[in-house]
Amino acid sequence: MSEKSYLYPLKFETIFKEKIWGGTKIRDILNKDFSPLKNCGETWEISGVPGNLSKVSEGNLKGRTLPDLISEYKEDLVGSKVYAQYGNEFPLLVKFIDAAEDLSIQVHPNDKLAKARHNSLGKSEMWYVFQADEGSKLISGFNKDTNQQEYLEYLNSGRLTDLLNYEDVKSDDCFYLPAGRVHTIGKGLLLAEIQQSSDVTYRIYDFDRTDDEGNKRELHTEEAIEALDYQSHSDYKTRYTSCLNEVVPLVESQYFQTNLLDFTTGIIREHYESDSFIIYTCLEGEAEIVTQGHSTKICMGNAVLVPRKFPEVHIRAKSGFKMLETFIP
């Protein structure tokens, strides 16, 4: 057998997704060319979802898929605890989403339900708002405690939106959405999404939209009933205080942990205790991700996967940068 190629901080080819609600901010703001698509609703930056496997975009591992790399490098790539739990499946999915129109009102199943119905992970996720048009809103959760019967009464009478919690949104807002929480991204929002590796969505209501052929999109009314969390919550928006040149925790869940790094200079990050890969998702500026002599450039709209083999990460920058730092706790 030939000797393994060496690992290094990995960038991947962007996967572009045209959507009925998609816009042009992926190109106009993030400078990512999605031609020949008419619009781009989502980019998948790091994905192990079957049918949408990320491929390395540069270096000696160029062209290799993420599951292929995990099967070869195992703990060196993802960490021993992560590999023991997920095997060759990559547990997270990193996206940018541009909503030129409201997305459908939807919910995602938890791990137990997704496993039983789809042999999939559940889908808990977080949103970090990159840019928000004035007056933008999103939906997260119910505005009061409800139950299955009342929910169906509202849904079937066309009054579902009266039961939902609307949030005014501005740039740099953050939301964590555990599986089971009803939600939608409102028009005018460009955001980064970090989620469990799942593409299972139950569409509850789609504003009676039709595609180019006049067809309405499929709804999943029955599937959603058992998936929904019918309780209201007081903390839909993540509260944090942004601090320059400090690591600011945003989301701490059992599925992933995400910090905000808003720095005017470089920084050394030490992850000796986390036994996980690290993902850096760049929101502003540019930098170099350096590990034991290997260097990978990152700029706005990029995501870089740092293998577990490199617990010490040097982020070098000539000017400022803002990034999300994500790992498995």
Report pLDDT digits (tens) over 176-201: 999 999 999 999 999 999 999 999 99
Report pLDDT digits (tens) over 245-296: 999 999 999 999 999 999 999 999 999 998 999 999 999 999 999 999 899 9
Residue among 203, 209, 239, 308 flagged as catalytic:
203
Q: Is 269 among the catalytic positions?
A: no
Q: What is the mean pLDDT of the chain?
A: 95
CATH architecture observed for domain 15-227: Sandwich (2.60)
The pLDDT score that the predictor gives to residue 4 is 66
Tell me what percent of the residues of the chain surpass a pLDDT of 90.
Answer: 92
Q: How far is CA 112 from CA 50, 120, 147, 207, in A?
A: 20, 9, 20, 29
Lowest mean pLDDT among 3-7, 79-83, 211-215, 311-315: 3-7
Q: Spell out the alpha helix ranges (H) of the chain.
A: 25-28, 66-73, 75-78, 80-86, 111-118, 148-156, 221-227
Domain coordinates in residue numbering, the chain: 15-227, 247-327
Total-model pTM: 0.94
Task: Quickly name the fold that domain 247-327 has.
Answer: Jelly Rolls (2.60.120)
18-22 average pLDDT score: 94
Contact 164, 119 (CB under 8 A): no
In 2-124, the DSSP E strands lie at 15-17, 42-46, 48-49, 52-53, 92-99, 105-107
Contact 328, 82 (CB under 8 A): yes
